[in-house]
Structure 1
Amino acid sequence: MPRFRFASVGDNCIDRFLPPVSQSLVGGNAVNVAVQLARLGQSAAYFGAVGEDADGVWTRQTLEANGVETARLRICQGVTAYTDIEQTPVGDRIMVFEEFGVCAGYRPSESDLAVLEGVDHVHIGWMDDGGALRRRLAARGVSVSQDISVNASLENLGVEGLSVAFASAGARGKRAETMLRDMLEGGARCAVVTCGAEGAIASHRSERAEIDIARVQVVDTTGAGDSFIAGFLAAFIASRPLAACMEAGRDCAAITCTHVGGFPQQPLLL
Structure 2
Amino acid sequence: MKIAAVGDYMIDDYTNLNNRFLGGNALNFIISLQRKVDYNLSFVGPVATDTDGEKLLKALEEYNIETNHISIVKGRSPISTVELQDGERIFKGLQLGVLEDFRLNNHQISFLKGQDHIHSSIMGGLISQLKDMKGKGSTSFDFSILRNKKLIMDAVQWVDYAFFSSKTFGDNEISLMKEGYAAGGKQIVFLLGELGSRVYDGERIYECSAVKCKVLDTLGAGDSYIAGYISEILKGGSIAGAMEIGSRWAAEACGQYGGNGLKC
Unpaired segments ≥5 residues, structure 2: none
Distance in 1 between residues matched to 2:11 and 2:147, nearest whole Å? 19
Letter in 1 for 2:138: S
Q: Which residue pairs with 2:92 in the alignment?
A: 96
Q: Is the 8 A contact 2:145 2:166 kept in 1?
A: no
Q: CA deviation at 1:150?
A: 6.3
Deviation at 1:105, TM superposition (A): 2.0
Q: Which residue does 2:230 correspond to in 1?
A: 233
Q: For the aligned residues, what is the CA RMSD?
A: 1.9
* 2:11 counterpart residue number: 14
Q: Which SS does the other structure have where 1:251 is aligned? A: helix
Q: 1:245 to 1:5 in 2, by over 3 A?
A: same
Local SS of the residue matching 1:124: strand
Please report how far the alpha carbon of residue 38 of structure 1 lies from its aligned counterpart in structure 2 after TM superposition: 1.1
SS in 2 for 1:180: helix
TM-score between both structures, scaled by the size of structure 1: 0.90
**Paired residues of 1:50 and 1:75 also in contact (CA < 8 A):** yes
**Distance (Å, rounded) in 2 between the aligned partners of 1:98 and 1:141:** 35
Aligned with 2:138 (options 138, 143, 161): 143
Larger mean Cα displacement after TM superposition, 49-58 or 207-216? 207-216
Q: Secondary structure at the residue paired with 2:156? A: coil
Q: CA-to-partner distance for each residue in 1:126-159, whole Å, 9 max, x for gaps?
A: 2334x33211233x44311100116687775431
Task: Trace 1:1-270 onto structure 2 (pairs within 5 A).
Answer: 5-19=2-16, 21-41=17-37, 42-89=39-86, 91-125=87-121, 126-129=123-126, 131-138=127-134, 140-149=135-144, 157=152, 158-206=155-203, 208-265=205-262, 267-268=263-264
**Structure 1 unaligned regions, length at least 5:** none
Letter in 2 for 1:144: T
The SS at the match of 2:158 is: coil
Cα deviation, residue 161, structure 1: 2.1
Letter in 2 for 1:127: G
Following superposition, the deviation at residue 247 of structure 1 comes to 0.7
Q: Which amino acid aligns with 2:209?
A: D
- CA-to-partner distance for each residue in 1:95-149, whole Å, 9 max, x for gaps? 11011111122222211112111110000122334x33211233x4431110011
Instruction: Give the distance between the partners of 2:40 and 2:151, measured in 1 at CA.
Output: 27
TM-score by length of 2: 0.92
TM-fit CA distance, 1:205: 4.2
SS in 2 for 1:262: coil
Cα separation, 2, equivalents of 1:81 and 1:247: 32
Are the aligned partners of 2:196 and 2:209 in contact in 1 as well (CA < 8 Å)? Answer: yes
**Number of aligned positions between the proteins:** 260
- Percent identity between the aligned chains? 27
Tell me which amino acid in the other structure corresponds to 1:81: P
Alignment CA distance shift 1:52-1:96 (3 Å): same
Q: Is contact 1:171–1:197 with CA below 8 Å preserved after alignment?
A: no
Deviations 1:185-224 (Å, cap 9, x if unpaired)? 3321111000111000002243532101111100000000
Query: Is contact 2:221–2:259 with CA below 8 Å preserved after alignment?
Result: yes
The amino acid that maps onto 1:77 is K
- Return structure 1 stretches of 4+ with deviation > 6 angstroms: 152-155
